[in-house]
Structure 1
């Protein structure tokens, strides 16, 4: 018997799912931020024991972690130096030369991960067309290595001007650095991010170098800890693009793991959408620290080429460090169960972005937290049963929650719940509009420990009438890891005018890109059945940014033109006559697809088992408090249908069914919430 183990480390909880033939088991425990691997090993030991599974029978471990993200946010990475072209040491500090907070006179930009004293330069120069204007000064580079050694540098990022068109100087610099500093971790921009845009490329390469020693040690510790338990299975890592890669690839490019947890949740939502034959979906993931919202249309994610980390103004676009990697596009806000509530100087309720996290946690956890949080508000509104939280292993203290809210006023918990839901609704509306979409008429798929508590009210605000809560929603991202394909994406910047397109040269470039992707993918998947996807990132001449255009056939100027016009119309509603498109960047993705699930058969409605307990539940939409029936999810068979107000409780989360809503268990034991006619 073979089994698969999925592990997701979040800011508050560490989630584990064990997939066995015919059944899955899950476990949720508080994250151990001082040593994240400790919670993983302890959770694995408990989960295997409760499932009665021998460690040696685990065939595969799938893992996503926030460690790289936290290292960037908390500035706890390696002592990193940048080696760049002479005259360009300050490009990472100049950044975009814009103000992200126009009217804030005290605005502060995020400081580069490499201080100016550790930004070294060497004479060399590659032209924009790849020609060599100035040869690399190897003697100067060796002198820089000596200075880096004296400065105690443990990681180096190399980013020369225009190396994405000709990487010869960077490759040679890498050879010399490895000779001079064999113990220093090295990242080259021509490997990490071979794309146009100097600041983004340098920022990404520096971030990779900054977290690489930490992630290398962490991943080695995870593998060693699992072996100590008797789990000798290979480990695959979740990437922000929605694919899985080997530990070796993750150690080389750890920056690709930064958004791994949210990517797993999005994959779960896509799987659930396919099971229910849904074309337009809003995935809603709310955990202990943040909430994430993702659009999924016709089984496809909206993908992005970059995002920001370590924002100086949390959740304010432009205030962070750009990371240029493939990532599932989502909107993230500081609205999790642990988000701290307070009143500002005008008496208004403000929530987050700071979170109580796992330590000290919400006041009701009894672990030392005293500040009011969203979880405390949910408990006081009756959304959580204090005796059944986490399967009864963690008793919640309503008195501590009430004391935390005492200074905010009698109706503060209700206000907190309504404001946090409106904040998420506003973010979802903006995200949809920015992608040329709408939220109304979609089906929401809710997962994460806190999402089923808030899903129905959020859906009301967004004009959504149907909500699906998957089985094991409280550990949704870990479930998503089990549905993820093994894959890897390679990107190259090669400026191409359509009237001067050289198809044979581009095919040769794609062959090189496929070979690079195969180096990663074939370590974990057989060659047979691999799917290759090609994408051109195009724009009209004179524009500053590109859109993704899928390449579905032979490369040709007219075919690319037509595909670009169709894609441009899809995003902006119209094309621009008289302007010629051009290609800036090409991407090739290689993956082993996961089989699509069968569409569920609709079951006839059935009466649910009689409930034994009730709990007062306050509905923020009406302000009314009514008795809500408490149902244990495991006791509800497929087909069972009930009306709100009700709570459906499971070990990792609780689904709130408000008055005016119905809940039905479908054939996959998912909860379908619908507004009653």
Structure 2
């Protein structure tokens, strides 16, 4: 019989599938290579591995929480359903015309990303709703019937419907959806007034198209996963991590898969936020580096920064504006193609470049001995002595130093006149500098000074690179939590059930209509609570309200968090004050005598989690005696050094080891450069402090 206290979190990444099993005796983890043809098989393999370690039968598992890159990968690789898009007459080409933004203004041969739906599959109807929801041109039922027949004749697997201003009045979209469902009950149908009921047709249309494009595939995958779990005796309910940092049911995820875009990285941000609260740190930079990508997120006062838009599948050197913008709640982070499997190459100017291409798990880095021939970051770390060839992934994946040397030498070293160690150092320095630049830009864009932050690093690759990254960024303190190698999977177990409902409702503050706003917020709260109750039942919840506001004439708004209550018409002054405070934080000033307007409202209902226990924090300690040594290349000294090698289990609270050192465990290794010391903490974390820094 299943036990509700036994929960398992599963994160499918581009290279590894991570499993974290929480049980009364503690936490057991597993890490297996991702199976691209049958991802559910890797999940079962990982769960079985963790359950065997814990000595727990699979039938005892009471809850499964899953995060996946399936949606992101399907959009990037254009592996989705045969899709039709229905929109308002005259707006057929919105998704192709995009916005006026030219993401690379000096490239005369600039090519815009190709829409998910070809023009021949985009259809229009004679209807029009105004921005205030009034019907300017009613939809003719005869035209609806003709459109249904067109869709049936086209053999489409999915349909997206996006009419102008449907967020203000969804009646026309609902009419088309009902007619399609009546004629073809098995057809996948997504309407923008449900998937993204917000202003801006380009983003709204993109979002509903993306949802419809992946919906059949995601629904099929989740159905197979649940069935396989049942076959193995796991009858527990399955929940999904959504990109906003909470849990939703499998049914909701199947209907709105666009909410899963960043589900894995969101779990990592929750994981880091939990440790930020445990250590009483209010300014944290989370650094998640896996086998394929690296993700950086700002966490302040224990809460990851969130946004209501996200750009997926950037096509031009990861430049902002070159991808597909979607309007969905998301933990805001910067993501670059810099993971352990990222491939190193030489560009036309003779420079080492790393990523965004990845060797992933098939065939993997050269040192994996699975057929990979191109040099990767993992090959470079092995060459530099930062990885133990015999104990990688707890010994489950033996590494070949010779194959790593061969790949680096043939593809990089010989062309640059360098020996393998020099070329490997060039690879790691390049990837570290790329990540440092991304972190600098991310913090500056949010009006923050990065040197005032503490880094929390996790993922299989982050502990190898985090110390060097802190050196480059001027960060003096770094935390490596226990279970860092499977951090996102553990984060799933710490996430609340939550749902964010949003609504486009344009108003200027000088004409603030409290009655209209209150009515809309009540509807949003009812919608959000209905979804949260699917998993949390009658559990205590919290409600967070965000107004998206801007100065009149500006192109984009900023999120302004407000207390959730019933508004009155006189509250426009309080809203203005809150907006100016948020605007000043971001831009350092406000603009006098310019009207302010609200474009969208977002309301999040989340279950209340137990209070995070405070960690016993140690800033000084007693040196650890004994132990063995090994050599690795220390980037701080630009030379190979003899370093202490210590088992993580020996880093008990208050124990200190001076760098250079390597702290080893099954899922990863932590490199401590000569500029830092490492101290064991009360909660099992490692605290790395810059030598001589005041704390």
Is contact 1:537–1:548 with CA below 8 Å preserved after alignment?
Answer: yes
Residue number in structure 1 paired with 2:648: 633
Q: Does 1:40 align with 2:51?
A: no
Residue number in structure 1 paired with 2:509: 498
How far 1:10 sits from its partner (Å)? 0.4
- Aligned pairs (5 A) from 1:533-552: 533-552=544-563
- The whole-number CA distance in structure 2 between the counterparts of 1:430 and 1:254 is 30
| Bigger shift: residues 603-612 or 625-634 | 603-612
How far 1:48 sits from its partner (Å)? 1.3
- The whole-number CA distance in structure 2 between the counterparts of 1:313 and 1:279 is 35
How far 1:88 sits from its partner (Å)? 1.4
How far 1:12 sits from its partner (Å)? 0.6
Is contact 2:616–2:683 with CA below 8 Å preserved after alignment?
Answer: no
Show CA shifts across 1:262-282 (max 9, x none): 111111111111111101111
Pair 374,22 (structure 1): closer, same or farther in 2 beyond 3 Å: same
Is contact 2:508–2:598 with CA below 8 Å preserved after alignment?
Answer: yes
Is contact 1:262–1:292 with CA below 8 Å preserved after alignment?
Answer: yes
Residue number in structure 2 paired with 1:610: 626
How far 1:22 sits from its partner (Å)? 4.1
Secondary structure of the corresponding residue to residue 143 of structure 1: helix
Of the three residues 135, 143, 147, the one matched with 1:132 is: 135
- Aligned pairs (5 A) from 1:328-477: 328-407=331-410, 408-409=412-413, 410=419, 411-477=422-488
Secondary structure of the corresponding residue to residue 524 of structure 1: helix
Q: Does 1:592 align with 2:607?
A: yes
Of the three residues 187, 190, 207, the one matched with 1:204 is: 207
| Bigger shift: residues 504-513 or 213-222 | 504-513
- The whole-number CA distance in structure 2 between the counterparts of 1:580 and 1:545 is 14
Is contact 2:510–2:595 with CA below 8 Å preserved after alignment?
Answer: no
Provide TM-score, normalisation by structure 1: 0.98
Of the three residues 238, 243, 266, the one matched with 1:240 is: 243
| Bigger shift: residues 113-122 or 526-535 | 526-535
Is contact 1:154–1:185 with CA below 8 Å preserved after alignment?
Answer: yes
- The whole-number CA distance in structure 2 between the counterparts of 1:608 and 1:376 is 31
Is contact 2:505–2:601 with CA below 8 Å preserved after alignment?
Answer: yes
Secondary structure of the corresponding residue to residue 248 of structure 2: strand
- Aligned pairs (5 A) from 1:175-324: 175-324=178-327
Show CA shifts across 1:312-342 (max 9, x none): 2241111111111111111111111111111
Residue number in structure 2 paired with 1:531: 542
Provide TM-score, normalisation by structure 2: 0.95
Is contact 1:364–1:400 with CA below 8 Å preserved after alignment?
Answer: yes
Root-mean-square deviation (CA, aligned residues, Å) is 1.3
- The whole-number CA distance in structure 2 between the counterparts of 1:221 and 1:610 is 51
How far 1:57 sits from its partner (Å)? 1.5
- Aligned pairs (5 A) from 1:18-37: 18-37=21-40
Is contact 1:663–1:674 with CA below 8 Å preserved after alignment?
Answer: yes
How far 1:480 sits from its partner (Å)? 0.7
Pair 388,51 (structure 1): closer, same or farther in 2 beyond 3 Å: same
Residue number in structure 2 paired with 1:648: 663
- The whole-number CA distance in structure 2 between the counterparts of 1:41 and 1:126 is 49
Is contact 2:651–2:679 with CA below 8 Å preserved after alignment?
Answer: no
Is contact 2:654–2:680 with CA below 8 Å preserved after alignment?
Answer: yes
Secondary structure of the corresponding residue to residue 536 of structure 2: coil
How far 1:609 sits from its partner (Å)? 5.5
Show CA shifts across 1:377-411 (max 9, x none): 10011110101101112111010010001132211
Q: Does 1:123 align with 2:126?
A: yes
How far 1:645 sits from its partner (Å)? 1.5
Show CA shifts across 1:631-675 (max 9, x none): 121233332211122111111110001113211110111111111
- The whole-number CA distance in structure 2 between the counterparts of 1:156 and 1:221 is 23
Q: Does 1:561 align with 2:572?
A: no
Residue number in structure 2 paired with 1:516: 527
- The whole-number CA distance in structure 1 between the counterparts of 2:291 and 2:173 is 42
How far 1:3 sits from its partner (Å)? 0.5
Secondary structure of the corresponding residue to residue 60 of structure 1: strand
Secondary structure of the corresponding residue to residue 451 of structure 2: coil
- Aligned pairs (5 A) from 1:46-125: 46-125=49-128
Of the three residues 660, 664, 675, the one matched with 2:679 is: 664
Gaps of 5+ in 2: 414-418
How far 1:144 sits from its partner (Å)? 2.0
- The whole-number CA distance in structure 2 between the counterparts of 1:531 and 1:161 is 33
- The whole-number CA distance in structure 1 between the counterparts of 2:31 and 2:539 is 37
- The whole-number CA distance in structure 1 between the counterparts of 2:561 and 2:231 is 46
How far 1:370 sits from its partner (Å)? 0.6
- The whole-number CA distance in structure 1 between the counterparts of 2:22 and 2:95 is 45
Show CA shifts across 1:33-80 (max 9, x none): 122111011211222122111112111111100001111011111111
How far 1:7 sits from its partner (Å)? 0.1
- The whole-number CA distance in structure 2 between the counterparts of 1:308 and 1:497 is 28
| Bigger shift: residues 457-466 or 135-144 | 135-144
- The whole-number CA distance in structure 1 between the counterparts of 2:639 and 2:566 is 62
Is contact 1:240–1:256 with CA below 8 Å preserved after alignment?
Answer: yes
- The whole-number CA distance in structure 2 between the counterparts of 1:303 and 1:375 is 31
- The whole-number CA distance in structure 2 between the counterparts of 1:400 and 1:113 is 40
How far 1:95 sits from its partner (Å)? 0.8
Is contact 1:608–1:637 with CA below 8 Å preserved after alignment?
Answer: no
| Bigger shift: residues 332-341 or 89-98 | 89-98
Residue number in structure 1 paired with 2:416: none
Is contact 1:609–1:636 with CA below 8 Å preserved after alignment?
Answer: no
Pair 314,79 (structure 1): closer, same or farther in 2 beyond 3 Å: farther
Residue number in structure 2 paired with 1:154: 157
